[in-house]
């Protein structure tokens, strides 16, 4: 990715262009990704991930998939929570999976480079699917959810943490402006380029609001949808089940 060329919003409307933009963007920010994540969330991100993994069902040796695993924050927590389980971290960006592999000392974890819209796993393979800031990045949300549904066993559980868009238009405008400013500030501090971090607001603007997302999950065959809200609803973890 050219660091000098601010990325435009238009590629986010085209699945192939969004996939390519994501790979370029996350390759560029991988080295500072964890540090900026902590600063962006005022240190809360790690707590939300602890809570997500802590709220998963007690299973002896589950197969777990961590979507868009990045540097492995949730993947490695899963490995600790389920030492007899098999944990797969999946991500599109090699720079991210490389960092995750370097961080990992667990022997029950593997990292796979793939697109969440086309996953290299058999049907009904996983007991648990997690994702931190995952499906908002999907080149095609419906394809990603169909894939998630396909690879989950019947009754398997999913937990997805992400920014959450309120349904009310004015609240949306305020939230997106705040995220754009705050994330842009850290883009400026680390890269002298606010544009690298305006992706969060741009992708969230195109993403369904919290109510619409529940409807979409229902339509894809997921049930028992529960939410744990963070920062007054700015972010949330959605827990649901494959029916
Ligand atoms: C915001 S990071 C989240 C990383 C990690 N899950 C966390 O919670 O910190 C988003 C990740 O999504 C990955 N990604 C983007 N598009 C993807 C796709 N189509 N399939 C799989 N991973 C993707 C990026 O490479 C990046 O590592």
Tell me the mean pLDDT per 10 residues along the chain, length 243.
Answer: 45 94 95 92 94 98 98 98 98 98 95 98 98 98 98 98 96 96 90 85 96 98 97 95 95
E strands of the chain, at which residues? 63-67, 86-91, 109-113, 126-132, 152-163, 222-230, 235-242
Atom of ligand 1 nearest to the CA of 34: 9
C-alpha of residue 49 to centroid of ligand 1, in Å: 15
Ligand 1 mutation target, pool 89, 92, 148, 204, most atoms within 8 A of CB? 92
Is 93 near ligand 1, meaning CB less than 6 Å away?
yes
Please state the atom number of ligand 1 nearest to the C-alpha of residue 96. 27
Pocket of ligand 1 contains residue 242 by CB under 6 Å: no
> In residues, how long is the chain?
243
d(CA 96, CA 113): 9
For residue 10, the model assigns a pLDDT of: 74
For the residues of 156-211, what is the DSSP string, one character each?
EEEEEEEE---SSHHHHHHHHHHHHHHHHHHHHHHHS-GGGGTHHHHHHHHSPPHH
pLDDT score for 197? 83
Give the residue, by CA position, lying nearest to ligand 1 atom 1.
133
> Taking the complete model, does pTM exceed 0.85, yes or no?
yes
Structure tokens at 153: 């066993």
CA of 62 to the centre of ligand 1 (A): 22
Q: Is 95 in the pocket of ligand 1 (CB under 6 A)?
A: no
Quote the ligand 1 centre to 93 CA distance (angstroms).
7
- Which residue is it, tokens 């009754």? 155
Pairwise CA distance, residues 69 & 82, whole Å:
17
Rounded to a whole number of angstroms, the distance between the first and last alpha carbons of the chain is 41
With a 6 Å cutoff on the Cβ, whether 37 touches ligand 1 is: yes
Q: Whose CA is nearest to atom 11 of ligand 1?
A: 68
Indicate if ligand 1 lies below 6 Å from the C-beta of 96.
yes
Place of tokens 């777990």: 64
Which residue segments constitute the domains of the chain, with CATH numbers given? 10-242 (3.40.50.150)
The pLDDT of residue 5 is 42
Which two structure tokens, joined as six digits, stand for 113?
């480079």
In degrees, rounded to 5, the angle at the alpha carbon of residue 158 between the alpha carbons of residues 155 and 56 is: 90
Atom of ligand 1 nearest to the CA of 49: 8
């Amino acid at each position: 990715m050219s660091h000098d060329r601010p990325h435009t919003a238009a590629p986010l409307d085209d699945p192939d262009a969004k996939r390519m933009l994501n790979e370029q963007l996350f390759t560029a920010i991988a080295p500072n990704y964890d540090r900026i994540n902590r600063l962006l969330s005022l240190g809360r991100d790690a707590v939300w991930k602890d809570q997500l993994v802590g709220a998963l069902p007690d299973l002896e040796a589950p197969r777990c998939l961590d979507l868009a695993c990045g540097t492995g924050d949730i993947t490695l927590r899963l490995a600790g929570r389920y030492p007899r389980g098999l944990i797969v971290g999946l991500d599109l960006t090699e720079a991210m999976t490389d960092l995750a592999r370097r961080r990992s000392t667990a022997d029950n974890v593997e990292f796979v480079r793939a697109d969440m819209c086309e996953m290299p796993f058999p049907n009904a393979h996983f007991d648990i699917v997690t994702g931190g800031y995952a499906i908002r990045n999907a080149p095609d949300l419906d394809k990603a959810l169909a894939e998630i549904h396909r690879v989950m066993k019947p009754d398997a559980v999913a937990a997805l943490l992400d920014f959450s868009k309120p349904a009310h238009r004015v609240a949306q405008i305020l939230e997106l402006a705040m995220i754009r400013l705050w994330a842009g500030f850290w883009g400026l501090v680390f890269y002298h380029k606010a544009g690298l971090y305006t992706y969060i607001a741009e992708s969230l603007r195109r993403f369904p609001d919290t109510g619409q997302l529940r409807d979409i999950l229902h339509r894809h065959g997921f049930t028992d949808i529960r939410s744990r809200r963070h920062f007054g609803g700015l972010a949330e973890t959605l827990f649901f089940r494959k029916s």
